[in-house]
Amino acid sequence: MRGAPGGPGGRLRRWRRRGAAERWAMPEHSTLLHLLAGGCGGTAGAILTCPLEVVKTRLQSSQVTLRPLCLSEIQLRGMSVRLMNPAPPSPGVLKLLRAILEKEGLRSLFRGLGPNLVGVAPSRAMYFAAYSGVKERLNAVLVPESKKVHMLSAASAGITSATLTNPIWLVKTRMQLEARVKGEMASNALQCAMHVYRTEGLRGFYRGITASYAGVSETIIHFVIYEALKQQLRNSHHSLSPPLTLSPNSHDFLGLMGAAAVSKTCASCIAYPHEVIRTRLREEGSRYRSFVQTLQLVVREEGPLALYRGLLAHLIRQIPNTAIMMATYEFIVHLASSTL
């Protein structure tokens, strides 16, 4: 009785249907899991590093040398013969941090925290969901877990995340560049967004998007190095048969944090100029119009080193931020995968 409900054939058909249903549900479950893990990781890494984010953005901006933070700038005013020479050195991280505290107060070090908290969770969630989803599909058609897979996955995730969240980051940058006297009320995120819309229209929210796309190169470098280091960790811990995920002990996650820190440091140092160009493009009333024009203008007027302004603050903030974010992401993915 081949078609009997209780016979071997019926059980086989039910098993196949159940397996197909589980396989159909897996991508949806996987996407939700990576959305949750990416969002939690991004939030955990961003909350405590907001002051360094403000300092980094101020250092990247062309406006920092227009304020009386650097005496050499005041002395050089009116000397047009020096315009083609490199600009005076920008204030250091600690000097600018102290100046913001003295002139604007502690609250100014948390300018843009609202948009950051609003944007970091969906941004990281979309990024990790896109990365894992694209990587899963590419593993089926290319050499699994190859550098080509990691590069294409990182590029797709970076472009997706940058396109969808650029308006949030533009508002955050404008708020961080807005210097106010201590005690003076500063505009909130909604007021800033309304001002951008009234003065520049919807297009204004996408200023700097070309620099964000150029910054995908940093994402690619970061994830290629990170995946390679993570594979080395797997091989060193499980030399006989590397599992899909690392065991959930403190040594493994310290290793993941180290891998994230090393990979992010390398990627940031190589691709950092796009950060400066993006900040310049997002300045209000800026004379910077496009990626290439901004690059040429900064190099011509301030010298090549100006493309690395704020790098130290960026590294001090980004290394622990990325380490916390990646370790939190890996931990949540492992925890959810082992319990569900």
In a domain, 12, yes or no: no
pLDDT per position as a tens digit, 195-252: 999 999 999 999 999 999 999 999 889 888 988 898 888 777 654 334 334 444 555 7
CATH number at residue 259: 1.50.40.10
Please tell me the number of Cα atoms within 13 Å of 34 on its side-chain side. 18
In a domain, 308, yes or no: yes
According to the model, what pLDDT value does residue 49 have? Answer: 76
Residue 106, C-beta contacts closer than 8 angstroms, at least 6 positions apart: none
Token duo for residue 208: 């700097």
In a domain, 20, yes or no: no
pLDDT per position as a tens digit, 12-43: 455 444 444 444 344 555 667 766 766 676 66
In a domain, 9, yes or no: no
According to the model, what pLDDT value does residue 45 have? Answer: 66
Beta-strand runs (E) in the chain: none
Calpha distance 58→299 (Å, rounded): 18
In a domain, 298, yes or no: yes
Predicted TM-score (pTM) of this structure: 0.68
In a domain, 6, yes or no: no
Where is pLDDT greater, at 8 or 317?
A: 317
Q: How many domains is the chain built from?
A: 1
Residue 212, C-beta contacts closer than 8 angstroms, at least 6 positions apart: 162, 166, 169, 274, 278
In a domain, 117, yes or no: yes
Q: How many helices (H) and strands (E) does the chain have?
A: 13, 0
Instruction: Report yes or no: 309 and 276 within 8 Å, Cβ to Cβ.
Output: yes
Instruction: Report yes or no: 222 and 264 within 8 Å, Cβ to Cβ.
Output: yes
Instruction: Identify residue 41 by its one-letter amino acid code.
Output: G
In a domain, 5, yes or no: no
User: Where in the sequence is the domain holding 151, given as residue range(s)?
Assistant: 27-339
* Tokens 């000097």, located at residue: 95
Count the Cβ atoms, other than its own, within 10 Å of residue 103.
15
